[in-house]
């Protein structure tokens, strides 16, 4: 017990003295935009190369790259990086003979664009440190950093590295091998990130691995995400017949048919898939029309083609295929009514089973959160999509957790230093713990 207490004290002291190290890493990450080609960026190569070099300089030398080919990106690749810290039961980094899986912490290195820069009080790509600032309830924020990506997902990334360094730099061997994944392409569906890694490196993960993804949570750190809604991003293209707006009978108005389809889908799908699940904050499935592409540049022409998109977040009890079947039924009604043809294509689709609330991983995490933050946890489901969906599909227990302020994707995104260091303590305790 004394040895355990000494280890805990050494870990906590190291982390509490790591504010400058955390700020240094966040500063360097922030100045290297890692925006996907879909959002007008060059990808993640510069950021990945920096991180690889920085980790080596800190003494984490077991690093492996997994580069998904993408001709649009700088270097023609979308790189992901895995850092390994061998554990007591698995000194060579392979699966331990006693069946003890590896402990993964997975974060992503890509970020979203800053958006409207006039809404930023600082340069989005130059980290700024603030001591002032208050929440809406009037409470003080304390020391925090501002910049694009500092919370999403550099907070979790930095916490995982500080946690690993608390062991590596003090010669503390983890109980099981620790693997830190820094992935590309999370913000646009992980086609070139975790999804690609799983499909092209089937031996990298094991069924009994434990995975934490520090990419969602609340401001207290009390919620553990164990389930995600099924997700589908659907593109609808309506084909009619272009004509002059003064003679509409000579054309077929694709915009009118598309507008009717938008409304029918919204109310029809909500009525058809109406079950509720209290595990989720939004207890019901959501079907939201979002992006609308331009059709014609002038007012006085009946458009012959119209394009819109739907973002569907579906309770796990409904398979995506069942929803698309109903979409096609509604689509057929509109085609008959207006004499149009509608193409429906799925751009992204994920569905996965939940992680059991009784799994050792959930209980292990809850125990360490309580030790660090002194709070009881509760399990939730979310509508957003994370790496966890892909891992759960592969049968690997995964949870999503962190203590965050929910500033992701917003102007003046910020992260609290106390959250970075506090979450690092939780992660480091889990790395050092003898068992779940």
**Burial grade of 113 (CB within 10 A; 0-12, 13-18, 19 or more):** middle
Cα dist from 422 to 12, 160, 232, 264, 402, whole Å: 9, 11, 35, 48, 10
Active-site residue identified among 67, 70, 90, 110: 110
Given the DSSP bridges, would you call strands 341-350 and 378-382 parallel, antiparallel or unpaired?
unpaired
Which of the 8 DSSP states describes residue 187?
T
CB under 8 Å to 189, separation ≥6 — which residues?
195, 233, 348, 385
Active-site residue identified among 26, 52, 90, 186: 186
3-state secondary structure of 244: strand
Is 335 marked active-site?
Answer: no
d(CA 192, CA 194): 7
d(CA 386, CA 380): 14
d(CA 220, CA 408): 16
Q: Is the peptide bond before 157 cis (omega within 30 degrees of 0)?
A: no
List the beta bridge partners of residue 286.
313
Given the DSSP bridges, would you call strands 210-213 and 398-400 parallel, antiparallel or unpaired?
parallel
Compute φ and ψ for 218, nearest 5 degrees. Answer: -140, 180
Residue carrying structure tokens 């946690």: 163
Find out whether 106 and 211 touch, Cβ atoms under 8 Å: yes
Compute φ and ψ for 324, nearest 5 degrees. Answer: -65, -30
CB neighbours of residue 246 within 10 Å: 9
3-state secondary structure of 101: coil
Residue carrying structure tokens 């260091």: 421
Is 90 marked active-site?
Answer: no
d(CA 355, CA 308): 34
Find out whether 147 and 122 touch, Cβ atoms under 8 Å: yes
d(CA 323, CA 229): 13
Compute φ and ψ for 2, nearest 5 degrees. Answer: -65, -40
Tokens of 145: 């950093």
Q: Compute the CA torsion angle 82, 29, 142, 411 (nearest 10 deg).
A: -120
Residues with catalytic roles: 110, 186
């Amino acid at each position: 017990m004394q040895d355990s207490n000494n280890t805990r004290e050494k870990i906590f002291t190291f982390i509490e003295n790591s504010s400058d190290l955390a700020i240094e890493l966040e500063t360097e990450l922030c100045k290297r935009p890692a925006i996907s080609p879909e959002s007008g960026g060059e990808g993640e190569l510069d950021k990945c190369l920096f991180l690889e070099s920085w980790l080596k300089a800190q003494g984490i030398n077991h690093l492996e790259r997994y580069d998904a080919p993408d001709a649009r990106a700088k270097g023609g690749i979308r790189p992901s990086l895995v850092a390994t810290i061998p554990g007591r039961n698995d000194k060579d980094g392979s699966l331990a003979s006693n069946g003890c899986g590896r402990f993964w912490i997975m974060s992503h290195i890509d970020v979203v664009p800053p958006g409207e820069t006039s809404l930023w009080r600082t340069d989005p790509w130059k980290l700024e440190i603030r001591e002032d600032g208050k929440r809406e309830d009037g409470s003080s924020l304390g020391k925090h950093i501002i910049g694009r990506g500092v919370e999403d997902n550099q907070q979790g990334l930095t916490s995982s590295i500080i946690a690993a360094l608390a062991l590596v730099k003090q010669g503390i061997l983890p109980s099981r091998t620790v693997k830190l994944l820094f992935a590309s392409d999370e913000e646009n569906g992980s086609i070139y990130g975790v999804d690609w890694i799983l499909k092209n490196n089937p031996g990298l993960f094991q069924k009994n691995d434990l995975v934490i993804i520090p990419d969602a949570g609340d401001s207290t750190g009390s919620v553990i995400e164990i389930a995600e809604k099924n997700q589908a991003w659907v593109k609808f293209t309506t084909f009619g017949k272009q004509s002059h707006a003064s003679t509409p009978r000579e054309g077929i108005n694709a915009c009118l048919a598309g507008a009717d389809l938008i409304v029918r889908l919204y109310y029809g799908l909500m009525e058809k898939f109406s079950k509720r699940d209290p595990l989720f904050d939004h207890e019901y499935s959501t079907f939201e029309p979002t992006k609308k592409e331009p059709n014609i540049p002038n007012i006085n022409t009946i458009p012959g083609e119209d394009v819109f998109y739907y973002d569907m977040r579906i309770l796990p009890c409904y398979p995506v295929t069942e929803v698309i079947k109903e979409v096609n039924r509604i689509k057929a009604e509109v085609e008959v009514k207006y004499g149009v043809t509608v193409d429906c294509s799925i751009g992204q689709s994920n569905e996965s089973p939940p992680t059991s609330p009784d799994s050792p991983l959930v209980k292990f995490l809850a125990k360490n959160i309580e030790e660090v933050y002194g709070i009881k946890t509760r399990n939730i489901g979310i509508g957003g999509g994370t790496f966890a969906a892909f891992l759960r599909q592969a049968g690997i227990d995964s949870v999503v957790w962190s203590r965050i302020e929910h500033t992701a994707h917003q102007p003046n995104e910020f992260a609290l230093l106390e959250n970075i260091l506090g979450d690092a303590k939780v992660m480091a305790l889990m790395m050092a713990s003898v068992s779940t």
